[in-house]
Structure 1
Amino acid sequence: MNAVRLDTLPSYVWWRFTRHPRNVALSRRLLREQARTWQAADDETVETAVLLLSELMTNAGKHARVSPGREIHALCIVTDGTLRIEVSDAGDGIPRRCRPSAYDEAGRGLRLVAALADRWGFCPRPHGIGKTVWCELSLRPDIAPTSAVTCVAGTVGPERGGKAGNHTSNASSPPGRSPVP
């Protein structure tokens, strides 16, 4: 497979997940595999990106108080030397950094995102209900070999029996985004 040039058109991967706790781990695995294909970041940056995606997916699954049929969308874009990670859900809650005590078992996710990402934020979804929480990481340009643009889209979710599901690919664009040539 080809690596991503950091000075070319955007390359992205997009997944739709059901709201199932196992899909957090699945999203980590899928991003790790895609990052290997892109070859656009060193191992430390990839693991940081995987942790950031995991935190955003966990928050979307845990805090988006929506009906069980709603999906979580994850979008990872490499463009202009930056990896942007977006996680969208149908919840209307506003992400807030908590101030957990030393004994609290939760509440540190957005603090981790703020500490590890170069930038982060949230916005309403452009063509639907809910919000998108995003973060960005700068990539090292000295490790990116030349290549063409990569485009992967898919649906991921539990199969019958509650197991984390199959990843199906197609060449469609994520909602609200223009197709990548």
Structure 2
Amino acid sequence: MQPMGSNELEVVGHWAHHPRAVGQARAELRKALAGWGLVTVEGTAQIVLSELLTNAIRHTRVSAGQEIETRYLCEGDSVRIEVHDASDERPELRNPSSEVAHGRGLVLVEALADRWGVTPCPVVGKSVWAVCALEASECIPGSTGRDLEDIPGSNDSPGVERRRGP
């Protein structure tokens, strides 16, 4: 792991292409959510991050020295979790049979995140992202969040977005 970069609304991490990175990234997400007052989404956000980062580690091939980047963005009453990797291959949502041990990561992300998607990076790779929001009853009155349009890069490239039902 390399040192984390951060500002008030964004935390960036760089991780080795190794399963141990998942636990380290979860610890950084936990700290960020506590700092933003979003601890009530921690359980959901931790699972979503684990699945996205595990997919990047398991399914992407990288050259020695390349890392996977995570970004956690506070968007008012929600957190946007991004996992950037150097592979152009897009993840696919599958319906694995009960006999298969793997393949349920994006099924969990689909079920838990308020919305998620894939955005190609301008030069190489992609960003797989998900947004986990507080329930309306948990929101702080008067709080304001940033729209996705306010986040650099969120609308720069065509991508795929999936939203959880109404």
Pairwise TM-score range, normalised by the shorter structure: 0.7 to 0.9
Q: 1:33 is matched with which residue?
A: 31
Alignment of 1:13-162 (within 5 A): 13-42=11-40, 45-126=41-122, 128-140=123-135, 142=138, 144=140
- Which one scores higher on RCO, CA 8 angstroms, separation ≥ 6? 1
Alpha-carbon shift at residue 140 of structure 1 (Å): 4.8
Percentage of pairs with the same residue:
42
Q: In structure 2, how many angstroms separate the alpha carbons of the residues matched to 1:50 and 1:26?
A: 11
1:9-40 deviation digits (Å, cap 9, x = unpaired): x7111101111110011111111122122223
Aligned-partner SS, 2:132: strand
- The alignment of Structure 1 onto Structure 2 pairs a total of residues equal to 138
1:87-122 deviation digits (Å, cap 9, x = unpaired): 000011111012211111100000000010010000
Tell me which stretches of 4 or more aligned residues in structure 1 moved more than 4 Å: 140-146
The TM-score, its normalising length taken from structure 1, stands at 0.68
Alpha-carbon shift at residue 144 of structure 1 (Å): 4.8
Q: Check the 8 A contact 2:13/2:70 in 1, yes or no.
A: yes
Q: Give me the CA root mean square deviation.
A: 2.4
1:27-65 deviation digits (Å, cap 9, x = unpaired): 1111112212222341xx111101101101000111112
Q: In structure 1, how many angstroms separate the alpha carbons of the residues matched to 2:111 and 2:99?
A: 20
Runs of 5+ consecutive residues of structure 1 not aligned to the other structure: 1-9, 147-174
Runs of 5+ consecutive residues of structure 2 not aligned to the other structure: 1-7, 143-151, 155-166
Q: In structure 1, how many angstroms separate the alpha carbons of the residues matched to 2:99 and 2:12?
A: 36
Alpha-carbon shift at residue 125 of structure 1 (Å): 1.3
Write the letter of the residue equivalent to 1:37.
G
Q: In structure 1, how many angstroms separate the alpha carbons of the residues matched to 2:29 and 2:76?
A: 19
Q: Check the 8 A contact 1:39/1:144 in 2, yes or no.
A: no
Q: In structure 2, how many angstroms separate the alpha carbons of the residues matched to 1:68 and 1:58?
A: 18
Q: Check the 8 A contact 2:77/2:139 in 1, yes or no.
A: no
